[in-house]
Structure 1
Amino acid sequence: MRFMGDASLKGQSELDVLRTLLKLCRDHEVMRDECYCQVVKQITDNTSTKQDSCQRGWRLLYIVAAYRSCSEVLQPHLVRFLQDVGRTPGLPFQGIAKACEQNLQRTLRFGGRLELPSSMELRAMLVALDVVEEICAEMALTRPEAFDEYVIFVVTNRGQHVCPLSRRAYILDVASEMEQVDGGYTLWFRRVLWDQPLKFENELYVTMHYNQVLPDYLKGLFSSIPAGQPGEQQLQQVSKLAALQHRAKDHFYLPSM
């Protein structure tokens, strides 16, 4: 319940809570079935006041299934539960239910993973809105109106096809689908609205915006020079920006006009 947000973390991180649970299941075999039963109970007809409680419960089940097996007594019931969710049209969490079943089958066959999960792995199991909010927080953006200006895109076909993700799109679902369609897919985090003023105190914020804007700038898409010859001030500004780009790429030859 701490991992799902339904109980206080009491100073721990969700990664701390998760690792404690996995260690308990490792050291006390009887805890494994108990853990599976409790998580399944929490995600079945979930009535939590926390909006993402059920989603977090599925994330927990996905992780536990990759690390710890269940008993032969529980196995057919647990597999049937996952299959029912994963194969029933219209039910939420279909993608992660299928992934949970795959994890469980691998664990039963080969034994569970040994290395405990990293914080990066936990991030891969978020919905798009969670990812946006986390990255915004790292850029020192805390206001909801700032979150609205950023979107996660999935990019396929070597960059030729770019599609924005719904804010409620489950990243693991997207990854599972893309693996079947285009194994070379990438996920992009981009700013699409520019209502909020720019700020330059946060290094990640500056780096992210700089690298997003740079390709469009170099293609001349931001040109605001009026018809005719550019003025001396404009020439000086363009020259300085070009020189900085030249040095940033570690070029030592003189640039052309």
Structure 2
Amino acid sequence: MEQIRSSRQNGYAKEMESSDKRLNSSKSQAITNGDAHNNNHHHPASESGRDGCSSWVESRIDHVDDNRSDITQSSNINDGKFSLLQFALYNFRDVVDKYELIRSADGSFSGSIKLLESLKSKKKNKKKNGSGSDWTWRELSDLVKFSKAPITNSLLKLSPPELNKIAIECFASIMRFMGDLPLLKNQTEVDCVYTILVNCYQWPQLRDEVYCQLMKQTTNNKSARLDSCQRGWRLFSIVAAYFDCSENLRPYLHKFLETSAYDKRRAYYATAMVCLQNLRKTMKYGGRKNVPSIEEIAAIAAGRNSKRQMYRLPGGTERIINTKSSTVVSDIIEEICSMLNVNNPVEMQEFSLYCIIDGDLYTMPLNREEYILDVTTELLKNGQTFYLIFCRSVWYYPLRLDCQLYIEVIFNQVAPDYLEGLLLITPGERLKENQVSDISRIAALLHRAANMDHEPTKDEVKYLLPKPILPMKEIRPPQWVEMVQSNWNDMGALTTTEAKAQCLDILQKWPLFGSCFFAIRHIQADSPNHPDYILALNKEGAHFLDILTHETIWDYPFDQIISTRKIRAEDEALFLDMKCGNLMTYKITRIQTDQAHEISRLIRQYIDIQNSDKGERGQQVSTISRNANSNYSS
């Protein structure tokens, strides 16, 4: 059966047969194979030919919305809690070994207060006597300050002990990247970054160690290299985009970054803010999974933290958006939605970002938590041509015709399905009178939407009508030409955008508007013949349509769909089981389709949006009720 296009895709691609074919490799494969990236890197010029734009720029630092005012931030920063020095007192190898602090059951350290008092008194005594054989406060504080020489032991006690050597290697890589230690023969700054990332992935217990090393080398940096501290902060931002830290270190690491990021008097507060943003993204989304490209590392090392990445909209419109190392798919969806005047977070869930790979028949939308540069770096490394395409995948909320770009996007998704005849319902393969009127006017509007100023000719009219219309015998082609031309007199005063908006306004009243269509075969256990249907998913539920007339044979509202399950047969045929009804009484409908993954995903997406919308409306009603009661009481 001829492949049916889904309206969300605008003819760009079809669903992927299996999510296992997704472009993103796993974290273990990507990071442990970091050296391969170095050998197989594509020159930036070739990247530009594939993704349209590969230049990196220095972007402004976005405000971090953490619901705190500058005054609150300042007071919290200076509260004396969770300093790196405090963490060193409790955890650094040299301090723990020297003073043998004992951790109690509640996590506190016995002897820590005495230690602080002892150090302070020794500091005073040393000033008086001019000597002292034990540690001073200054010597302890030096443990958390920049070091001109490589360390001889890890800062933290690591297990197994063999990690001590790897920790020393990581510190040397940090120093080499910062320019405080010469690079080895044939070594590059990219190799230094890969060494750190690969080791941190392979040994999670090293992550706290590396973060402590970075904090140390960016604290009171007295390097002879003028850009040492700056490069240290930039390396910090790369690591923060990949790895979280332990619960033990987290408050100290956050405090360190916040202290630097929120104090604009500090030289590198802007880069510290990038580090803080990256770390928060890592905590929320799990961190980057593929090692960065040579281009990305070189750009970040030079202070360019955003890539000018091209995104396509239905109809071929392009938007270039500055994409950071920590940018995830949901960030791009949110930014493009704001261009469309879509600001409701629940309504934003209707939109998706697809990665269309040249030569692939099927595709799936990118996971909203995927990092954009993980996706593009992997594809560029493999030399694949691809497009990142934003479109509407779910049609739950009504149209908004108050934004020109929104009208363009929706029109360019709907028009192809309309012209294919997918939106038509023709009982007895005949048109109703109101359909004839709508189709005639839409044809004239489509002609004007194409920026045509002349009356549509006979040859042009046939391309303005849905494909199934012309073979119908009840209305002959000359009659269609006459009806379309009679509607043309109203078109002269319309702009192309107004013509598109009027098309959408007419079509949104049709029952199948906003549907995604899939070719399926209903598998019936009690019948040797398995009829072909069209499955239409829209906000009303799942509809099984007659393949010719598009009349609904049967349907299931989403609140009756309990679950879906994908099954692969021995002959590689793909099936989808839909359990419908309720937990007490249900029926399983089995369909055969190559698009089982996308059907299952869309059903889940519709159900999630419906539940989110109900929850949002419930909160609004509750708020109105509370306000009313408050006004009544007063």
By the TM > 0.5 criterion, same fold?
Answer: yes
SS in 2 for 1:164: coil
**2:233 alignment partner, one of 32, 38, 48:** 38
Distance 1:122 1:33, change over 3 A: farther
CA contact (8 A) 1:156 1:182 kept: no
Report the CA distance shift for 1:30/1:222 in structure 2 as closer, same or farther (over 3 A).
farther
Q: Identify the match of residue 226 of structure 1 among 417, 422, 427.
A: 427
Q: Which residue of 1 aligns with 2:323?
A: 123
Q: Any conservation in 2 of the 1:155–1:187 contact (CA below 8 Å)?
A: yes
183-192 or 166-175: bigger deviation:
183-192
Given that 1:129 and 1:168 are in contact with CA atoms closer than 8 Å, whether structure 2 keeps it comes out as yes
> For the structure 1 residues 194 and 118, does the alpha-carbon distance in structure 2 shift closer, same or farther, using more than 3 Å as the test?
closer
The answer to whether the 8 A contact 1:39-1:57 is kept is no
Task: Name the counterpart of 1:5.
Answer: 64
**Change in CA separation of 1:202 and 1:121 when aligned onto 2, cut-off 3 Å:** closer
| Kept after mapping to 1: 8 A contact 2:351/2:390 | yes
Q: Structure 1-normalised TM-score?
A: 0.62
The alpha-carbon distance between structure 1 residues 207 and 106, as it changes in their structure 2 partners (threshold 3 A), is closer
Instruction: State the alpha-carbon separation in 1 of the partners of residues 236 and 388 from structure 2.
Output: 33
Deviations 1:187-236 (A, max 9, x none): 11121211112111111111111111111111111112322421332112
Task: Give the distance between the partners of 2:307 and 2:385, measured in 1 at CA.
Answer: 24
Q: Is the 8 A contact 1:4 1:56 kept in 2?
A: no
After TM superposition, give the deviation of residue 128 of structure 1 in Å. Answer: 0.5
Task: Name the CA shift for 1:117/1:160 in 2 (closer, same or farther; >3 Å).
Answer: closer
The aligned residue for residue 399 of structure 2 is 198
Deviating more after overlay: 242-251 vs 217-226: 242-251
Work out whether 1:98 is the aligned partner of 2:288: no
Q: Are residues 1:177 and 2:378 paired? A: yes
Cα gap change, 1:158 to 1:216, in 2 (>3 Å): farther
Residue 145 of structure 1: how far off its partner (Å)? 0.9
Match of 1:179, SS state, is helix
Q: Which of the numbers 365, 369, 382 marks the counterpart of 1:164?
A: 365
Change (3 A) 1:197 1:3: closer
CA distance 1:41–1:123, shift in 2 (3 Å): closer
Structure 1 Cα separation of the partners of residues 300 and 338 of structure 2:
35
What residue is the counterpart of 2:355 in the other structure?
154
Correspondence for 2:344 = 143
One-letter code of the match for 1:148? Q
User: What code does the residue aligned with 2:457 have?
Assistant: Y
CA distance in structure 2 between the partners assigned to 1:129 and 1:227 by the alignment: 45
Between Structure 1 and Structure 2, the one with more helix by share is 1
Equivalent residue for 2:457, pick from 247, 250, 253: 253
Q: Which moved more, 1:243-252 or 1:164-173?
A: 243-252
Alignment check: 8 A CA contact 2:244 2:287 kept:
no
Per-residue deviation at 1:121? 5.2
8 Å Cα contact 2:358-2:384 kept in structure 1: no
Cα distance per residue 1:110-160 (max 9 Å; x no partner): xx699x976945237521000111111111222221111111111123462
Aligned letter for 1:98?
P
Between Structure 1 and Structure 2, how many residues are aligned?
A: 199
CA drift of 1:170 comes to: 0.9
Q: For 1:225 and 1:207, locate their aligned partners in 2 and report how far apart those are by CA, in whole Å.
A: 28
Change in Cα spacing, 1:170 to 1:31, as seen in structure 2 (3 Å) is: farther
Change (3 A) 1:244 1:181: farther
- Tell me the distance in 2 between the aligned counterparts of 1:106 and 1:141: 33
Change (3 A) 1:162 1:181: farther
Deviation at 1:185, TM superposition (A): 1.1
In the alignment, the residues of structure 1 paired with residue 397 and residue 420 of structure 2 have an alpha-carbon distance, to the nearest angstrom, of 25
Post-superposition offset of 1:107: 9.6
Instruction: State how far apart, in whole Å, the 2-side matches of 1:93 and 1:107 are.
Output: 15
Residues 1:237 and 2:422 aligned together: no
RMSD: 4.0
Contact 1:6 1:53 in 2 (8 A): no
User: Cα 1:33–1:161, aligned 2, differ >3 Å: closer, same or farther?
Assistant: farther
Runs of 5+ unmatched residues, structure 2? 1-59, 71-223, 259-272, 280-285, 310-319, 463-476, 478-634
TM, length-normalised to structure 2 = 0.27
From 405, 413, 431, the counterpart of 1:212: 413
Q: What amino acid sits opposite 1:177 in the alignment?
A: E
- CA distance in 2 between partners of 1:149 and 1:139 (Å): 13
| Aligned AA (1:5) | V
State the alpha-carbon separation in 2 of the partners of residues 177 and 36 from structure 1.
Answer: 26
More strand by share: 2
Q: Distance in 2 between matches of 1:198 and 1:243?
A: 21
C-alpha change, 1:161 and 1:54, in structure 2 (3 Å) is: farther
On the 8 A contact 1:4/1:53 being kept in 2, the answer is no
Distance 1:162 1:104 in 2: 30
